[in-house]
Chain A
Amino acid sequence: MTTRTIEVNALARVEGEGALYVRTEGDRVAEVKLRIYEPPRFFEGFLVGRDFREVPDITARICGICPVAYQMGASQAMEQICGVSLDGTLEDLRRLIYCGEWLESHGLHVFMLHLPDFLGYPDGITMARDYPELVRNGLRIKKIGNALMRLVGGREVHPVNLKLGGFYRAPTPAEVAALREDLAWGLEATAEALEFLAGLEFPDFEMDYEFVSLVHPDEYPILHGRIGSSSGLDAPVEDYDRIFTESHVIHSNALHSHLSDSGRPAVMGPMARFALNRERLTPRAAALADKAGLGAVCRNPFKSILVRMVEIAFAFEEALRLVDVYRAPTRPAVDMTPRAGTGYGATEAPRGICYHRYTLDDDGIIQDAKIVAPTSVNQPSIEADLHGFVQANLDLPDDQLRHRCEQAIRNYDPCISCATHFLDLTMDRG
């Protein structure tokens, strides 16, 4: 029996450090491993013993791409414990900066990390020589995301203007209005780029996913919602730990997650949000999704690039709406007094649900912390995709198959550094 191995020892165009190992025996895939060897980062451990007000600044450091997701989830959990809620204007500002994060993250991934796979280039720089306008527009889309982050968050990366209960300083209406022109440009540029992307060739490959995302009755989910799934799950965020079971696999420094009831892996992120919330997309984004040929649900992971692009259009459209209704809040933040308790927070990071749970004592000192990044939840699905794709394409020569496998991983825009959360490390050395 012939044994083939496909190995990529250091994955490129993903955030963080990971490797891929596939072994086939004869005409069957015997083993697939997405090896995440980036060391664990122990953020949950650092947080224990710290003051509750420190969480937005500490958790922001988990990721340079999606810091807002961590800041928001952590803040929501603390606000829940302290019994505080934010008024509409402050919630809108949070949604606005979150749109900036989606634009930054999706913009970079679509144009610089994912698109080269489809157009046959080793990287975005080489691709830029032949597609300068596309890359230039992609960079500008990302830059508009940066501008949103800078205005509301104080700076582009690891924002410093976010605090529990709101912000240190709220932008003036004039500052917010100044974003309008760029946002309007971005929406048009996105529509144009999506038309191009819809014409790409996609491998004929679909999976029967269990999609999980936040679901909100009135809006495409970013900051709020219940946990929903394609098999009808509908539960409050507080049930997260019951819904998912985390387990350690030896080849990854990021805990794997499975749905506790079915034992199935889940898919989070753009495809899941789209599948469960399509009818709540903003009008233009919904029309663009139609035009791009995306049906009610997209089960081809290679087409996630189209869904991401639709979400970029949504983020521009939503940011435009928020900019237009903005008025300065009466105060930039709500005061918080600590009390003992356990609180939960979950928001839609660019890659899916980012879940937080904290327990405080009477003085607001953190007793326990749990943070789950969507990439860690997506790991088993990435491996299932690889298994399915390799099985269906065993006739491809090694180099082509290897390339397609890398692309299958990049379909998820995995943020490996975020994913390496660890609660307990148990080493079994036989």
Chain B
Amino acid sequence: MLPSQSDVSRRVRSRRRPACRTWINRMLSGVVIGIMTSAIASAAPVSDHLDLAQYRGQVVIVDFWASWCKPCRESIPWLNELRARYAAHGLVVIGVNVDAERSDAEEFLREVPIDFEVVFDPQGELAKRFDLQGMPTSLVFDRAGNLVETRLGFRQAMKAKHEASLKNLLNNTGH
């Protein structure tokens, strides 16, 4: 599917940016992923495209996960917790599932419920666009829509540090 021009929003700042930040440009110009539309057995809203422009002004965590990813069984409950704690302060969490088989993802969700929005990416197009270096990967965007952090892997030992940096981003209401 072609990027939707109507999703183009505010222009990014003109000063020179590191390569990773051009990804948000692509996102802002609209990455539309054609996905299956069947409903899943989960309370979380299902989406068939990822459009971050609508979350401008909020802090967004995009987490790539899969049913076969062992650390995801721990990272997802933690993201559920963060969302419960900080949604009112402007946190949005979006999960991107990269399972090739939708049924594998559904089985995982029966064991590990997800309280945030899930986007399905079975062909790995989103994963490719963000050039994921490993699984799981969490992308953190600040209120201005800039990609500020790419977290590779999940470790219990890093939870406190990640939460602290998240609070910082949430406190930063200006740009």
The reply to whether chain A is a binding partner of chain B is no
Taking Cβ atoms with an 8 Å cutoff, the residues of B that contact A are none
Taking Cβ atoms with an 8 Å cutoff, the residues of A that contact B are none
